[in-house]
Structure 1
Amino acid sequence: MSRVKRVLIVLGSVVTVVALAVGGLFAWLWTGADVSTVGKASFDNALAIPPLAESTVDEDGTRVFDLRMRAGETEFEDGVKTPTWGFNGSYLGPTLRATRGEKVRVRIANGLDEASGVHWHGMHLPARVDGGPHQMIAAGGTWTPHWTVDQPAATLWYHPHPHGATERHVRKGLAGMFILDDEKSGELALPKRYGVDDLPVIVQDVRFDGAKLDGGRRMMQNVGFLGDRTMVNGTLRPYREVGDELIRLRLLNASTARTYAFGFPDDRAFSLIATDGGLLERPESMDRVQLSPGERAEIVVQMRAGERVMLRSFPQDNYGDGWQRRFGGGDDSFDVLELRAAEALRPSPAIPAALGESETPDGTDAVRGRHFDLKRSGINGRAMDMGRVDETVTRGTTEVWTVRNGNGMPHNFHVHDVQFRVLEVDGQAPPAALRGPKDTVFVPHGTTVKLALHFTGPADPESPYMYHCHLLYHEDEGMMGQFVVVDKGQRASGHRHG
């Protein structure tokens, strides 16, 4: 009995030591998992404004752009050269700009040593020029897609979409903004001088490993890569001097996994005027706007003469449980961009009470519904297969898609080609920030959203569009499916049917 007692005492001691060690490790991981840059750095770098891309106009009126993907080096910090990728430069790309009704052609050259591509995120265009994983550009190769712009004024963007490698290509710097204009928005009294009172704000989180960009995921970061600092337009600790009473910020979350809740430290209200696909019907006053990867929002903020105000990302509580918030970035906070107002400001006209007219469907004429269950292992229980068409939709019809996340972690849902209307969030009318045209929507754990989508084609039974989680680590792992648009009676061809 004494021997048994000694063994039990030893075993008990070992269990106690292991439990204390595990508890200590957990406490260390928990307390070190949240990130905050609030008040920790002086914002001393002038914000870079991506140049407007040069273009020519052909005899038939087609606007022609040139983009070259290339590797290079970027000095994010003076004297420290970081290997990066970019379009027409070492990091990010120029802002493309076109007008509704205009024909567009983009001549793309891949100067990288591996295949990549360019997806026109938020653009309504034929599937064969969508730039998804089926339209890859070989190393040293070229691609010249062309289409007619046929959608309202909006802030869109472009980025690579190689299957299994999208996260790495975007994180290394391949991204840029694509602004669409139209006649109606041009007549509105909104800030519209690019780089003056109308600022592109491309937000990314980064982490450096010496001079290199670090893309590794930390322990228990199942959403993907989360950086420990942010930059805007490739600028660390950016400030922008402004000289107008009203400043329009075109916010683009170009991070690969991080979701932000943008606002200001004094909780001042700002006006949300546009979402992913363009203007709202009327401005909405709010003090926070949440953007998951790929989402955009245009806000107008009132400035006071001589003030400095920080655009900040605040902690968020809709990530699931406390574990997911802590390790998925929900508890993090960042100072993002300092706006410095001149001592005397140019007066700005009041924001119009009416902005745009909705072109998204309300779902009342939907011909069918579909359900999409989001899991990290795949959508509806299936991982992405380039040779399988998962859904076939009929051109000219409206559908209602129900998207559900019960996976215990944040996801979002992006649909190529269409701008949809969010009909419901958990059975309720959507909040103001989700009432405009959308192509990407945040779907936190435990959330169900209903979307109305109208498919106008053109019909192409051979070329699929994608739908996927835009947390790019999840997308690369297989959280993606394919759909084709066909004429009535047609079937998808060239692929297996799901």
Structure 2
Amino acid sequence: MRCHTAQCSRVPGRGAARPTLGSVSLTRRQLLRATAAAAVLAPLVPAVTGCAPGEVVPETQFGARLPIPPLDEGTLDGGTRTFRLAPQAGTHEFVPGKPAQTMGYNGAYLGPTLRAARGERVRVAVENRLTEATTVHFHGMVLPAAADGGPHAMINPGASTNPEWTIDQPAATLWYHPHPHGSTEKQVGYGLAGLFILDEPGTNEAAALPHTYGVDDIPLIVQDRRLDADGKITFDPAGNSLGTLGNSIAANGTLGAVLSVTTQRVRLRILNASNGRWFKFGLADHRPFHMVASDGGLLAAPLELTSVQLSPAERAEIVVELKPGESVMLRSFAPDLGRVNPPDAFGGGKEFDVVRLDAAASLAPSAALPAAFAALPAPEGTTTAVSRSFTFNGRSINNKTMDMNRIDFTAAPGEAEVWFVDNVSAYQHNVHVHGVQFRLVDIDGKQPPPERAGWKDTIPLLPREQNRIAFRMPKYADSEHPYMYHCHLLTHEDEGMMGQFLVAEAGAAGPAGSGTPSPHQHG
């Protein structure tokens, strides 16, 4: 990996040790698009010029074994599957011999992979062993707002909480992470993240795909990390326009990781858990692979690709086929970031090796991929749904920044909604909606690419681009606990690019500052 300024130091090494929101008319959107660049480009430029002083770019040599997060299937307690998570401080070596201060769940860095099935009642007992308050947000989970783990659900040091709900969504690769307003980037950046895998009993898809955890079904949490000369995690100073971009790429917490493959096909459950960097994953020799699932579950059929791009918090499940004895590198190619200035924002123009796949001399046979999975339902109708508009610009959504005491709108339980999400900025955002899985209807009026046609909870918002998404609101009525919607570039989120909504029956009272604006109807 290369950095193009003299400020960067290099540390030789072989990688890590093992260890109504208001309507926005078309005219206004066009006006905002025409004027946004002048307002934002000046503060952007110093934030992305090269590497920060003291930043380390290890000369990564691939050879360290890819660690597999422990699988936690919980314990059955009176019919409820119970998991236990303890966020805590620790140390972890990204550079051998240089321990860094980190955070993890039940350990020093990252957390176990939780696993449950559709129809099960689950409980997550969380004990906060940090010296600061935190939350645990279940990203992509369809669940009651009181169990969602947003910024209102703070867990003080030494305190505990026990969110409980019934799994009611298809098989998918979800994840969990902290969500304290103002310090999410810090806590996720120090290592608080883990996968939450959902299974769906009674379907044939699991048998048709590689599904033995840690053997041919591999969790892959990918993060960029900025390290100083002592191998410690550092962040850009407060107020940085783009957030921290690191030039060291960790897979499951390890630099230079190698996965030993023993089967003909291997399934990689990829999560972009970076604070702000975008990745475009593919194999170094440009061979095709098959994408089988996005954020919220299986696609309609295996999709042959040579690359898949993920903004922060997005997931993709891909199946790679190998021949005995060969090696191939999973690489992040330079991502397509749209009409952006400067061009290297959020990882544009840079390539990184992520994990090397080493096939054994003899490989166990794998089942052939099915021609198709279960058909996906059409996106919710656009004629009868409530329609809302959201304009992303700077650090605001609809010219508002996050106010913990303000409810931006109230929706009815189970109501069909269509959202027009418009990025008028000169740089990238993305959008995550809590408590739902949605479908991307179109991008600037055009059909979305097939890799984004399945269930999603997070989508990229490229500069000057409008996305239309459709979904049903959660069925859980609650006039006190809100859900969030926000940019998942964590600096942007921390600095206020977030709003909140209630799902409640008509006439239900909400917290102070709540309101139920008239929905904006798009033509």
State TM-score, norm by structure 2.
0.85
1:70 maps to which of 71, 88, 103: 88
Distance 2:419 2:403 in 1: 21
For 1:248, the equivalent position in structure 2 comes to: 267
Distance 2:449 2:509 in 1: 37
Gap change, CA 1:476 and 1:395, over 3 Å in 2: same
1:483 maps to which of 498, 501, 507: 501
For 1:13, the equivalent position in structure 2 comes to: none
Distance 2:469 2:458 in 1: 11
Gap change, CA 1:54 and 1:354, over 3 Å in 2: closer
- CA shift at 1:216, angstroms? 2.6
For 1:391, the equivalent position in structure 2 comes to: 409
1:454 maps to which of 472, 478, 481: 472
Moved over 6 A (4+): 218-221
Q: Which stretch shifts more, 92-101 or 374-383?
A: 374-383
For 1:270, the equivalent position in structure 2 comes to: 289
Q: Are residue 259 (structure 1) and residue 278 (structure 2) matched?
A: yes
Question: Where does 1:280-291 land on structure 2 (aligned, <5 Å)?
Answer: 280-291=299-310
Q: Are residue 235 (structure 1) and residue 283 (structure 2) matched?
A: no
Residue type at the aligned position of 1:355: F
2:370 maps to which of 352, 356, 359: 352
Distance 1:219 1:356 in 2: 46
For 1:200, the equivalent position in structure 2 comes to: 219
1:363 maps to which of 363, 372, 381: 381
- CA shift at 1:98, angstroms? 0.2
Q: Which stretch shifts more, 178-187 or 387-396?
A: 178-187
For 1:496, the equivalent position in structure 2 comes to: 513
Q: Any idea what SS the aligned residue of 1:496 has?
A: coil
Distance 2:463 2:403 in 1: 25
- CA shift at 1:377, angstroms? 2.4
- CA shift at 1:486, angstroms? 1.4
Distance 1:218 1:350 in 2: 50
Distance 1:190 1:414 in 2: 28
Gap change, CA 1:441 and 1:39, over 3 Å in 2: same
Residue type at the aligned position of 1:115: A
Question: Where does 1:377-416 land on structure 2 (aligned, <5 Å)?
Answer: 377-416=395-434
Contact residue 313 and residue 333 of structure 1 kept, 8 A: yes
For 2:489, the equivalent position in structure 1 comes to: 471
Question: C-alpha deviations, 1:354-375, integer Å up to 9, x for none?
Answer: 2233257333464221011012
Gap change, CA 1:444 and 1:215, over 3 Å in 2: farther
Contact residue 94 and residue 176 of structure 1 kept, 8 A: yes
For 1:159, the equivalent position in structure 2 comes to: 177
Residue type at the aligned position of 2:94: F
In structure 1, stretches of 5+ residues that fail to align are: 1-25
Residue type at the aligned position of 1:280: L
Gap change, CA 1:126 and 1:294, over 3 Å in 2: same
Q: Are residue 306 (structure 1) and residue 325 (structure 2) matched?
A: yes
Question: C-alpha deviations, 1:410-440, integer Å up to 9, x for none?
Answer: 1000000100000001110010111010000
2:97 maps to which of 79, 84, 103: 79
| Identity value in percent | 49
For 1:431, the equivalent position in structure 2 comes to: 449
Gap change, CA 1:218 and 1:270, over 3 Å in 2: farther
Question: Where does 1:38-187 land on structure 2 (aligned, <5 Å)?
Answer: 41-53=60-72, 55-59=74-78, 61-183=79-201, 184=203, 187=206
Gap change, CA 1:185 and 1:275, over 3 Å in 2: farther
Q: Are residue 418 (structure 1) and residue 433 (structure 2) matched?
A: no
Gap change, CA 1:428 and 1:329, over 3 Å in 2: same
Gap change, CA 1:219 and 1:268, over 3 Å in 2: farther
In structure 2, stretches of 5+ residues that fail to align are: 1-44, 516-523
Contact residue 274 and residue 312 of structure 2 kept, 8 A: yes
For 2:209, the equivalent position in structure 1 comes to: 190
Q: Any idea what SS the aligned residue of 1:274 has?
A: strand
Residue type at the aligned position of 1:89: G
Q: Are residue 216 (structure 1) and residue 253 (structure 2) matched?
A: no
Contact residue 320 and residue 410 of structure 1 kept, 8 A: no
